Structure 1
Amino acid sequence: MTTTDFRPTTADQITAAGTLLALLHAHSALPTATIQLQYLRMPDTRDFLWGLEVALHNGLDHFEQWRHALGIDPAAVDHHTAVHGTLAWLTATTPHSGIPLKLTGFYHQPEPTTLSADTSEEPATDSCHFCGESKPDVTVQEDPFALELNNESWSIPICDDCLQLRCDEI
């Protein structure tokens, strides 16, 4: 019986590195992300390959821009939350140019609140929770995405554009 001594080298990462360069060139207007070469499982297989891990830390709008540019179906996105605190993240792993690409968007979610009998919109006192902009149309509303996916009610300041995006994702 013989055993093969598998010792990975940087040559094994060339395909992922080339895909990274092509991705950055093709989508140069996307928001800056932290990108690493990682050994990832190719979706729908048992194979592990060198791929790309793209992490976004500046809000869900950046995650959505990347998700849309990469053609990732919203149904393929998984939602995760930390056991304690308000840290949450969205992930999706997809094949891209023959390698696995894992997209992750981190954000802080508001503390869950209990809705009162009066669910009318309140005037906003803050900027939009998702895009961070102070717009005249920002109001405190129930987040439809959180209600549909987590069965939780979150009252958050949100603008009409982000509210529409959240509704479209359900």
Structure 2
Amino acid sequence: MTATQPSAQTEAVRALLAEATADYTDAQARRQAQDHRDDADLLVCDDTDEDGGAPVNATLDAAARLGRALGHLPGALIEVSNIYPDHIEVSVHDGLARFEQWREALDIPSTDIDYRDIGASRMRLQGRGAFAGVDVKLTGHAPAITTCRVAP
């Protein structure tokens, strides 16, 4: 079996993740270099969330590693937020087969997947796993599964 080359889209996502990590590191260095503050009420944030969770930088690093390790999978939206800095969100919008590939790669048991109808024609699947020590929330959106009855 031959290895496939990453797609241009995968390479672009990797570049964006690397750029986001570099931007964050630069901003953190600028923050640390600023020793004195004139405004005593100014809140200075470090790179951990207020509950002492995983540092944003560690989450960004895990997201970049996720992109490198699972870049062969179908395209997905990978998000790291400063609102929830201790987890990565992976969203797949292209159907069940692609969601299933991500679920298997993240080793999320199928029994741990939550299914919800979104309106009459869409559904959402959601599960949680971990990658590089960081919580990963996997969400998939697809057309709703309909069942038909055959008349006797």
TM-score, normalisation: structure 1: 0.54
Q: What is the SS of the residue equivalent to 1:107? A: strand
CA distance in 2, matches of 1:65, 1:79: 17
1:6 Cα offset (Å) = 7.3
CA distance in 2, matches of 1:72, 1:36: 18
1:86-145 Cα deviation digits (max 9, x unpaired): 11011001232222100011001144433322xxxxxxxxxxxxxxxxxxxxxxxxxxxx
Q: What is the SS of the residue equivalent to 2:86? A: strand
1:22 equivalent to 2:65? Answer yes
Residues 140-155 of structure 1 correspond to what in structure 2 (within 5 A)?
A: none
CA distance in 2, matches of 1:101, 1:113: 35
Percent of paired sites with the same residue: 25
CA distance in 2, matches of 1:73, 1:62: 16
Residues 7-156 of structure 1 correspond to what in structure 2 (within 5 A)?
A: 8=45, 12-38=55-81, 39-40=83-84, 50-82=86-118, 84-117=119-152
CA distance in 2, matches of 1:112, 1:7: 55
What residue identity is the alignment partner of 1:33? A
CA distance in 1, matches of 2:91, 2:139: 5
1:76 Cα offset (Å) = 0.9
1:10 Cα offset (Å) = 5.5
Q: CA RMSD in A?
A: 2.3
1:54 Cα offset (Å) = 0.4
More relative contact order, 1 or 2 (CA 8 Å, 6+ apart):
2
User: 2:21 corresponds to which residue?
Assistant: none
Q: What is the SS of the residue equivalent to 2:124? A: strand
1:8 Cα offset (Å) = 4.7
TM-score, normalisation: structure 2: 0.60
* Structure 1 or 2: more helix by fraction: 2
